[in-house]
Structure 1
Amino acid sequence: MQESIPTERLPDDAIQPDLFHALPELHYPEEVNAAAEMVDRHVEHGRGDEPAIIFDGQAITYADLQDRVDRLANALLDLGVEPGDRVFVRFPNRPEYVVSCLATQKIGAVTVPSMKLLRATEISYVVEDSGASVAIVYDDLLDELEIARDERGLESLAEIVVVEENGIEHDHHSYDDLIDAASSDLSAPTTTRDDVVMIAYTSGTTGKPKGTVHTHRQMLAICDGYARYCLDPNPDDVFASNAPIAFTFGYGFEVAFPLRFGATTVLVQDPEPTDLLVAVDEHDVSILASVPTAYNQLFAEHEDQLESADVSSLRRAVSAGEPLPPRTYEQIGDHFGVEASDGIGSTEMLHIFISHRYHDEMDPTATGFPVPGYEAKVIDPDTGEQLPRGEAGLLVVRGPTGVTYWDRPEKQAEAIYDGWSAPGDIYIHREDGRFEYVSRADDLIITGGNNVAGPEVEDVLLEHDAVYQTAVIGAPDEARGQLVKAFVVPEDGAEPAPALTEALQEHVKAAIAPYKYPREIEYLDTLPTTETGKIQRSKLREREETGTN
């Protein structure tokens, strides 16, 4: 099998983020294991009979979960998996996904989550780049992995374990057979707080996906920092989200946060927005997490279900993945009767690092404050100097997590400013201490010498009754360098026509500085999105630059 984590594929000390642990909750012992903290601790404290996971109407208790994790962990050890080995995990949102990640982490190996929509070429890249030696895969998603193996060889991949649910024929290990044959008496290798627990790959919206490295200490830190202070969780809480578990946002809300605090997570295999309503209604979900696109789809297309669902159990709705438009914030309050909490995080930083704390006064015009344990500032990216309050610039942060790329030294050097991590966002640090989102660094449009933030124009367009979805980019223009162009998905009944274009342009001119209005508007049936629901503005920019549809 593999050697442990090859240190030459990690950044050298000169370009590492400056990690610090300001909160007492983050002072973990040298020897600690995130998976054991999220499962075993609750069983040891007498809560083994409490529900950890609800899936397809059935509850899996903490004791059941511990048994499944320990059996799979022993099976992986029997297959030769050693501390530091990478295990590629490919599932929809199912309990086996959770078990596979926790079992891998419990024996000191490293989880490499995979989005279920990845095709063979993308899978080949992730497996080869990470050096994964074992894959655990849902049978309905096996075909692309086998194509990747057959076409590319995937020399590091020694074993494949298949969860058999759909009768797909294969000649690999059976997940159920391995678990049934394995002992539940686990003697796990010792792990330390700085051992790698996960290599999570970015969604690849710009270039090839990048592996981002996270440790046991960091996995616990996002729970004991962001979740503890911004969600105020307790064992009676029930979490639900339609984010893929392979997305670190989803992993936090569907695995790490509920299990860290002895709460319950409701998993839905292939969730549609209405499935969230069903989960809230049937399982008394108290903390709901999704992306703005899904909230908007729910409010725009499922009014009858919204009116009939009982959502009284909710106490907090969280939005991340993209900026939360003011209209969506208001609709969450109107339909769910709770305040929405916006947050900015990234795969590189593992989870959310700016948000409002649970008892803060919410301000929908800002993302919030640095999450306890983090510091943030806005700098001039050319000089690295901190900018005055109220001036837009590059956001940099530091705290218990930071940007650490796997075998990408050039990207690593670009992301670190004197120890501070730069996730790639333009922000304003306001006088009230809150941080106000402007745009992604690559979404800033420079037109005729003026800076225009695409998301600001999008928010104004979304206020118009004729606009269902929109994305605003800078299109190449000989005279201005770039011009502001909007792609609009109209609401049902709104007819794309010159009259609508003029109305939308005048609407923007009346709300914000006139030079920000979209000089071109193109109507589409759908906008390109990632599997996590983020609009792929990079694809829209690419079609403008190449002149292809």
Structure 2
Amino acid sequence: MQENVPESYLPEDGPQLIHPLPELHYPEEVNVATQLVDRHVGEGRGDNVAIRFGDEAVTYADLQTRVNRLGNALVKQGVEPGDRVVVRFTNRPEAVVSCLAAQKIGAVALPSMKLLRAKELVHIINNAEASTVIVYDDLLDEIDEALPELNTVDTVVAVQRNGIDHDHVDYDEVTAAAADELDAHPTTRDDLALMLYTSGTTGQPKGATHTHRQVLATADSYANYCLNASAEDVFGGNPPLPFAYGYGDLLTFPLRVGATTSLVENAGPGDLLDAIENHGITVLCSIPTAFNQILAKFPDGHEEYDTASLRLAVSAGEPLTHSTFNRFKDTYGVEIYDGIGTTEMLHIFVSHREGQEIDPGATGYPVPGYECKVVDPDTGEEMPRGEAGLLAVRGPTGISYWNRPRKQDEALVDGWSLPGDIYIHREDDRLEYKSREDDLIISSGYNIPGPEVEAVIEEREEVSEVAVVGSPDEERGQIVKAFVVSTEGVGAGDRLTETIQNHVKNTLAPYKYPRAVEFVDELPRTETGKIQRVKLRDREHEQYED
């Protein structure tokens, strides 16, 4: 058992993992940081560019030095193998360095979404029993607000880039004083390397745990077989690094093959086009919303920017429509490879492969190394081809929750992982997405649990009842919509709408706020009094289709 990882926090009955590809067989002792960085330097590729960030080019040799210095500094600050280390940044080089440094010394990297508020951070950090936080100074305010309620944090390391004063350990000072050399802690392939938190429909964030070999397996299966990733590639895009999708696309995949990652802070469509031109991005990773924004806001982007370097694009986070696939292909001359992955599974496990004929109406085939089947949600029995059911997955990664035994049981059937998606397994072997099993709202790639938003809105005394659902939206896929019954005597209108929206923005991550609020006299309920959200969703879809 890895040091400082409480045995009670790891599931006793985890997923059944399989390793059918030769690339997925790793030695007993392996460390992801040495595989992603040190190996390339040792094999003579130290001068190759690992990270491009604006005009900065970080070579593999430079990255190794930065990782080693921070790793030594963390050890001096008391970080031990197995400790959880929160990494809170925008997409910057220091985020990559911090994750790899934590992993190299045997600790567990826990990337944090930049938009999370103090209340959300308190739950996640306390649940993970994290000992250390490494934070970009522009995101320090929420950590400072949360700090009095953090039970296990001993050290906060602040990366000062915006002149924001702080009383914490200074990143630049401790790394400048640290040694350049660092031997990796002798981690085993099944030691934890990464924790990512995701919220389900209960609104309670869940920690998904991933081992050293599972992180490597995402590159050696999907990136290798589906993207044909090579050292000549430049991976870029705008998924945040704390997303499993972003962590793979912008950290694991490029560094695994000795390629380059292009990092852009707060990247809008214009920023992405600029990065394609200036960094020579070959693999563009994003979500359908962003591809639509590029097409809508920069209709002549293919002429205004040099995008000749692109060889393919990758999409995940929400369903990719035929229209977006065809328009982007017609405009930029590359196909978008849609895929389904989850935080729990760490990355994409269903996709087409480069060179295959893409059917935009289907997600694709099981990624090499994975097996998929569609099962009856009630019995777990496999469904006949062409009939919708619950997707079950087995491969080198699987659903393993931190200290959530009930959720762990619900996420598995006979050792197969259940991501929670309804699919059809077609006669041509492709898997076709139908819907989510639960009430999770997917907006611009963000997973937003409706009940969590409801709970915050209900804090307002002006609100009597509320139900939150996803409403179809052309650009974002879905938006959060709140149906509100106002308290008797309270006027419903624009002012109350703004009050509700601001309250959610100030309590939760801003992307969770309801972009639409509709005031109603009553909410649809079952005979037992439960709110029938399905009726509200169905009405929204009917109005959208009309």
Amino acid at match of 1:167: G
CA contact (8 A) 2:31 2:184 kept: no
Distance 2:105 2:372 in 1: 35
CA contact (8 A) 2:269 2:297 kept: no
Q: CA deviation at 1:269?
A: 1.3
1:273 corresponding residue in structure 2:
269
CA contact (8 A) 1:389 1:431 kept: yes
1:520 corresponding residue in structure 2:
none
Partner-residue secondary structure (3-state), 2:50: strand
Partner-residue secondary structure (3-state), 1:314: coil
Pick one of 343, 351, 356 that aligns with 1:355: 351
Distance 2:276 2:57 in 1: 15
CA contact (8 A) 2:388 2:424 kept: yes
Distance 2:352 2:426 in 1: 14
Sequence identity (%):
57
Partner-residue secondary structure (3-state), 1:323: coil
Distance 1:86 1:80 in 2: 12
Structure 1: which 5+ runs fail to align?
445-453, 459-470, 474-481, 492-523
Pick one of 208, 213, 216 that aligns with 1:212: 208
Task: Decide whether aligned partners of structure 1 residues 166 and 118 sit closer, same or farther in structure 2, where only a CA change above 3 A counts.
Answer: same
Task: Decide whether aligned partners of structure 1 residues 431 and 90 sit closer, same or farther in structure 2, where only a CA change above 3 A counts.
Answer: same
Asked whether 1:20 is paired with 2:15, we answer: no
1:126 corresponding residue in structure 2:
124
Q: CA deviation at 1:188?
A: 2.8
Task: Decide whether aligned partners of structure 1 residues 221 and 329 sit closer, same or farther in structure 2, where only a CA change above 3 A counts.
Answer: same
2:172 corresponding residue in structure 1:
176
Partner-residue secondary structure (3-state), 1:192: coil
Distance 1:535 1:340 in 2: 29
Task: Decide whether aligned partners of structure 1 residues 489 and 358 sit closer, same or farther in structure 2, where only a CA change above 3 A counts.
Answer: closer
Distance 1:376 1:144 in 2: 41
1:395-447: CA deviation from partner (whole Å, max 9, x where unpaired):
00000000000011111110000100000000000000000000011269xxx
CA contact (8 A) 2:201 2:438 kept: no
Bigger drift between 2-11 and 105-114 goes to 2-11
User: What stretches of structure 1 move > 3 A for 4+ residues in a row?
Assistant: 203-206, 304-307, 484-491, 528-540, 542-548
Amino acid at match of 1:401: T
Q: CA deviation at 1:88?
A: 0.6
Asked whether 1:434 is paired with 2:433, we answer: no
1:476 corresponding residue in structure 2:
none
Pick one of 209, 214, 234 that aligns with 1:238: 234
Asked whether 1:401 is paired with 2:397, we answer: yes
1:8 corresponding residue in structure 2:
8
Asked whether 1:295 is paired with 2:322, we answer: no
Partner-residue secondary structure (3-state), 2:330: helix
Pick one of 422, 429, 440 that aligns with 2:418: 422
Partner-residue secondary structure (3-state), 1:168: coil
Distance 2:475 2:194 in 1: 40
Partner-residue secondary structure (3-state), 2:226: helix
Distance 2:127 2:513 in 1: 26
Task: Decide whether aligned partners of structure 1 residues 342 and 537 sit closer, same or farther in structure 2, where only a CA change above 3 A counts.
Answer: farther
Q: CA deviation at 1:490?
A: 9.2
Distance 1:260 1:397 in 2: 24
Distance 2:26 2:510 in 1: 32
Could you say what the CA RMSD is over the residues aligned between the two structures, in angstroms? 3.1
Bigger drift between 274-283 and 368-377 goes to 274-283
Spell out the pairing of 1:252-401 with structure 2 (5 A cutoff).
Answer: 252-401=248-397
2:106 corresponding residue in structure 1:
108
Distance 2:395 2:510 in 1: 26
1:93 corresponding residue in structure 2:
91
Spell out the pairing of 1:112-191 with structure 2 (5 A cutoff).
Answer: 112-150=110-148, 152=149, 154-191=150-187
1:60 corresponding residue in structure 2:
58
1:217-264: CA deviation from partner (whole Å, max 9, x where unpaired):
000000000000011011111110101001010011110000000000
Q: CA deviation at 1:157?
A: 0.1
CA contact (8 A) 2:115 2:510 kept: no
Q: How many residues align?
A: 476
1:31 corresponding residue in structure 2:
29
CA contact (8 A) 1:196 1:215 kept: yes
Amino acid at match of 2:127: D
Q: CA deviation at 1:304?
A: 3.7
Task: Decide whether aligned partners of structure 1 residues 544 and 289 sit closer, same or farther in structure 2, where only a CA change above 3 A counts.
Answer: farther
Q: CA deviation at 1:109?
A: 0.2
CA contact (8 A) 1:247 1:532 kept: no
Partner-residue secondary structure (3-state), 1:386: coil
Amino acid at match of 2:274: V
Distance 1:378 1:183 in 2: 52
Q: CA deviation at 1:359?
A: 2.2
Distance 1:114 1:279 in 2: 24
Task: Decide whether aligned partners of structure 1 residues 65 and 280 sit closer, same or farther in structure 2, where only a CA change above 3 A counts.
Answer: same
Distance 1:52 1:291 in 2: 24
Q: CA deviation at 1:185?
A: 1.5
1:148-169: CA deviation from partner (whole Å, max 9, x where unpaired):
012x1x1200000000111111
